[in-house]
Structure 1
Amino acid sequence: MFELSVPWWELVLRATAVYAALLLLMRMSGKRTVGQFTPFDLLVVMLLSEGVSNALTGGEESVLGGLIVACTLLGLNALVSRLSARSDRIRKLAEGEAVVVGYDGRILDERLRAEHVTREDVMQALREADCDVADMKLALVEADGKISILRRAEGMAAHLRG
């Protein structure tokens, strides 16, 4: 139950390698997978966890082995969080940053494609912000995948009067 079939440090190395690889893959896959899970996105995440489980444990099935992997993953996550809070460069690398997908009443389709966000997602965010495309100053896909809308000043004044 508590006896390991592989050295403890191998489990730490495996967990670190898988954590780093998945972090990189998630960053490369675009912001949508992080922000708003569709049923497809959720399925992919579930399958990813199942697919990497053997890579994490190397066939180790003991309670101790599972706890070592869990502690390593939680420790890495805490480390990345702390480093991200102290360094903009690390934060941008780990979490990303907001990307402009609409500017001055125009939706930038090439940026939407690069971020794996649909035009309909932006239109929904505009509706939620009670903003017409013409009144949009900026549309941003935030690092967490949420779409933020900034109105033009004159559009806001007209909105407040109306």
Structure 2
Amino acid sequence: MDPILNVVVRSLCVYLFMVIAIRLFGKNQLSQLNAGDVVLLLLISNAVQNAMVGPDTSLQGGLVAALVLFIANFIVKRLMFSNQKFESFLEDNPVILVKDGVVDQEALNKVKISKDELEEAIREHGVDGIKNVKLSILEVDGNISVISEDEKDKQTHYSRIKRKNKRKYH
């Protein structure tokens, strides 16, 4: 087999394996990145690098593998955009955590978020407490959005903060 085609096929196989593995083992494996998770990511990248390029350690082989990964990712994103079933396979729906100041404990249990973590996220949004939350949602990207109501002005405030430590669920 042609060495370039060999790198292309190997890279596609590794990409598909990683997408399926992340889905099967839960996206929360990539959410709260602690030291152990960073080490795991580094080891996985090192392990699959050889699987992608095989004996071809040339610059050309590395660039072809990177190009294949970019193209595969582009195609997956396009498929997610155009095919609802494919998107729902790769990403879950947002989950309502708080509605009108009432915590949905069942939802918290499902997404494995403690009440302390929820309260921390609400404080990060500048809201006094759960009782002042109109709506709090765990978004598909692992961030928690909070909509609150100002008691003085009866004005609704929406805030969404990109968290350093994202939490995703499966």
Query: Against the structure 1 CA distance between its residues 72 and 140, is the aligned structure 2 distance closer, same or farther, given a 3 Å change threshold?
Result: same
Count of paired positions:
151
Partner amino acid for 1:64?
A: Q
1:33 aligned partner: 30
Match status 1:51 vs 2:47? yes
Corresponding position: 1:143 with 2:123: no
Partner SS, residue 96 of structure 1: coil
Mapped to 2, the partners of 1:40 and 1:118 lie a distance apart of 21
Secondary structure at 2:17's aligned position in 1?
Answer: helix
Q: Which SS does the other structure have where 1:145 is aligned?
A: coil
Q: Residues 15 and 101 from structure 1, CA distance in 2 versus in 1: closer, same or farther, beyond 3 angstroms? A: farther
Unpaired segments of 5 or more residues in structure 2? 155-170
Q: Distance in 2 between matches of 1:8 and 1:115?
A: 43
Tell me the equivalent position of 1:75.
71
Secondary structure of the corresponding residue to residue 140 of structure 1: strand
The corresponding residue for 2:20 is 24
Q: Which amino acid aligns with 1:46?
A: L
| Residue 55 of structure 1, CA deviation | 1.6
Matched AA of 1:29: G
Q: Deviations over 1:21-68 (max 9, x none)?
A: 21223334234724x534443332222211211221223212222122
2-structure distance, mates of 1:114, 1:20: 27
Q: 1:18 to 1:40 in 2, by over 3 A?
A: same
What displacement does 1:76 show? 0.4
Q: Identity percentage over the alignment?
A: 26
Shift of 1:73: 0.3
Change (3 A) 1:111 1:43: farther
Instruction: Give the letter for the 1:55 counterpart.
Output: A
Alpha-carbon separation, structure 2, partners of 1:121 and 1:157: 23
Matched residues in 1 for 2:8 and 2:29: separation?
A: 30
Match runs of 1:143-162 below 5 Å: 143-151=140-148, 156-158=149-151, 160=153
Matched residue type, 1:86: S
2:54 and 2:109 mapped to 1: Cα distance? 37
**C-alpha offsets along residues 95-144 of structure 1, whole Å, 9 cap, x if unaligned?**
43312344451242x54454354443322211123152233344322111
Q: In the alignment, which of 85, 88, 112 is matched to residue 84 of structure 2?
A: 88
Residue type matched to 1:150 in 2?
Answer: I
| Greater strand content | 2
Give CA-to-partner distance per residue, 1:60-103, whole Å, 9 cap, x none.
21222212211110100111122222233333333433123444
TM-score normalised by L of structure 2? 0.70
Q: Shift of the alpha carbon at 1:6?
A: 6.2
